[in-house]
Structure 1
Amino acid sequence: MSAADTKAVGPPVPVPPDPQPTGKSSSDDAPRVQKRKRKKGELLPYFLILPAIVAIAAVYLYPLGKTVVMSFQDMGRRELWSGEPAPWVGFEQFTNILGDSEFWWVTFRTIVFMAICVTLTMGIGLLVALLMRRLSTWVRLVLTVALIAAWSMPLMVAASIFRFMADSDYGLINTLIAKVVGEDWLGHNWYLNPIQGFGIITLLVVWGAIPFVVVTLYAALTQVPQELEEAAALDGASAYGIYKFVTWPVIKPVFTMVATLSVIWDFNVFGQIWLLRGNKPEPEYETLGLYSYSKAFESTSFSQGTAIALITVVLLSGVAVFYLRQLMKTGEVE
């Protein structure tokens, strides 16, 4: 090729260099996508439970807020019917309540009554649940059906049955005792003595609460590994040792949560006492719930009644926090 041809062709065109790798590939985006999906999966349960939370808030938040507001007012019958704003009194309602010896007696009575009911409920419920493990299948099925039937019985029906059983003239309890110890028990009124009266009320509360405890604890007992119990028995452990070191650690979280729920329920017992005492309990039978109702509707001091209810909520808040902590611990273990 001549020089003229080379000149005509011109200088060589520079070729652009190949693109250098940036160090990122499509595989690097995979963890990011997985992280995004994981975040969506973590938020899904909260979105699913959101409607229930909204419904509960709509039902409970307004009454709770109204209770707090009324406890700082002096709401009487005139303000209730006329719609006039009640005067603000600050902490006067709380000062009067906390300075009243009757309130502290009612609180003490409520705590003792709750402790006895919870102890009997959890003790009998645990024994029955342990017994169910040793029963045959059909006997266990019959017992479960009977427990569910007792649990589903309306409170008014159950209270009517216990009122008949403790009736002074025709009650089954007096009749059976009279056949054993003599005729002196015929005509005995159990409610003249508050201790005896609370004994009948306790029987009704425990009878209604045992089915839930038994079914729940038996479900927990089914999760105890049988091979561990058999191994402990082969090693020479006693029945109590097997229960203490093998069975109890497995059912303890469930037992604690059920006991906590029982504390909350028995602390707020209202209907059982109300129905057994003919819709007008004597002052000796008042617990905090009945005491609050009495102050609000019989004494027409609505603000004082709401203040007592608010104090009850505060007393139970510690129990509720403990229950939530147990739920969280159980979730972490699972």
Structure 2
Amino acid sequence: MSVQTKGTDTAGKPAVRKARIPGPPAGEDRGSRSPSRRGAAAPYLLLLPALLATLVLLGWPLVKNGMLSFQNLNPRQLIQHLTEWNGADNYKEVLTGADFWHVVERSVVFTAINVVLIMVLGTLIGLLLARLGRKMRLLLMVGLVLAWAMPIVAATTVYQWLFAQRFGVVNWVLDKLGWHSMADYNWFGTQTSTFSVIILLIVWESVPFVAINLYAATTTISKELYEAASLDGAGAWKSFTSVTFPFLRPFLYATTFLEVIWVFKAFPQIFALNEGGPDHLTETLPIYAYVQGVGNQHFGVGAAISFLTIVVLLVITSYYLRMVLKQEEDEL
């Protein structure tokens, strides 16, 4: 590429010279300097296997469950391979019944109590790990990992043995400490005591995850910030509120969100301990859906309850996410 420029020749007369402006090398297309389409599509291609697996393993069961929720599906229909569509009758039956709303209220309260205890205890233990010496920290982390890695059914069996009425360790210890009325106490005989054992089990299983991850988050905080806070006269509580907590806030938001989902859908702990008893008083939504669908063999009703369970969980998590996003916008 060239342009004309004015100059003078040897005789002093104006002359026109051509100046050459560097251009792209021969054979190189101008469009090749911009990111190629193949490079732009690479992230989507890498995500494609995960998306396909999600659609197959989660999407199709969800669609199938939604279809079942609009069918009258009982043992007779299963044996005769009949498909009887009944519209929204299953949803009407569930939503107009008082039992469903009692279970929803119980599930929300149960989830809230567990998540609060898990986050408070997990945060305290995580902060303790950050202050312990190397040997004590390693010992405590080994105990946390062992508790977290124990299979759910195995942990539930251990708790059944600990709180057994006749030969349970807990009753034996309480009796030796002077509470003789607890010698043969039935921990699974009332709603409050049964939920107490279930909450203790779920909190025991969940605290290690929160504690270890919070400790990992504290290692990213620069020590210079604590030194600057101490120079300003900040004590332990002021250092936590002004230095530690702002750095840990995103982690606490994300972990709380995960714990809400995990606790809300807890099934094996409740079912293995007492199958939602006594008198169905400890049934949460997952247990209620299983009992109505599989236990009573009303599969269409069970599918409707499970679909409504997903809706309730989405409502809870969407409210929490909206609150988190609003706080982040206020901080900006």
**Same fold, TM exceeding 0.5?**
yes
TM-score normalised by L of structure 2: 0.85
Residue 43 (1) aligns with residue 41 (2): yes
Aligned to 1:66: 64
- SS of residue matched to 2:293: helix
For 1:67, the aligned partner's letter is N
For 1:187, the aligned partner's letter is D
Map 1:1-334 to 2 at 5 A. 25-26=23-24, 32-37=31-36, 40-86=38-84, 88-277=85-274, 282-321=279-318
Aligned to 1:9: none
Q: RMSD of the alignment, in Å?
A: 2.8
- SS of residue matched to 1:74: coil
TM-score normalised by L of structure 1: 0.85
- SS of residue matched to 2:177: helix
Q: Which runs of 5+ in 1 are unaligned?
A: 1-17
Higher helix share: 1
How many equivalent residue pairs?
310
**Any idea what the Cα deviations from partners look like across 1:25-47, whole Å, max 9, x if unmatched?**
218x898544315x654532322
Larger Rg computed on CA atoms: 1
**Any idea what the Cα deviations from partners look like across 1:242-292, whole Å, max 9, x if unmatched?**
111111111111111111110011111110011111697641111100100
Q: In the alignment, is the contact (CA less than 8 A) between 2:74 and 2:298 conserved in 1?
A: yes
Q: In the alignment, is the contact (CA less than 8 A) between 1:270 and 1:290 conserved in 2?
A: yes
Q: In the alignment, is the contact (CA less than 8 A) between 1:71 and 1:304 conserved in 2?
A: yes
C-alpha change, 1:230 and 1:179, in structure 2 (3 Å) is same
Equivalent-residue separation in structure 2 for 1:202 and 1:131 (angstroms): 23
Q: Which moved more, 1:171-180 or 1:292-301?
A: 171-180
For 2:34, the aligned partner's letter is K
Q: Which moved more, 1:18-27 or 1:39-48?
A: 18-27
C-alpha change, 1:113 and 1:237, in structure 2 (3 Å) is same
**Any idea what the Cα deviations from partners look like across 1:59-81, whole Å, max 9, x if unmatched?**
11111111111111111111112
Report the alpha carbon displacement of residue 320 of structure 1 after superposing the two structures with TM: 5.0
Equivalent-residue separation in structure 2 for 1:319 and 1:279 (angstroms): 23
Equivalent-residue separation in structure 2 for 1:130 and 1:72 (angstroms): 50
Equivalent-residue separation in structure 2 for 1:322 and 1:142 (angstroms): 39
Equivalent-residue separation in structure 2 for 1:117 and 1:212 (angstroms): 14
C-alpha change, 1:293 and 1:281, in structure 2 (3 Å) is farther
- SS of residue matched to 2:55: helix
Report the alpha carbon displacement of residue 180 of structure 1 after superposing the two structures with TM: 2.4
- SS of residue matched to 1:283: coil
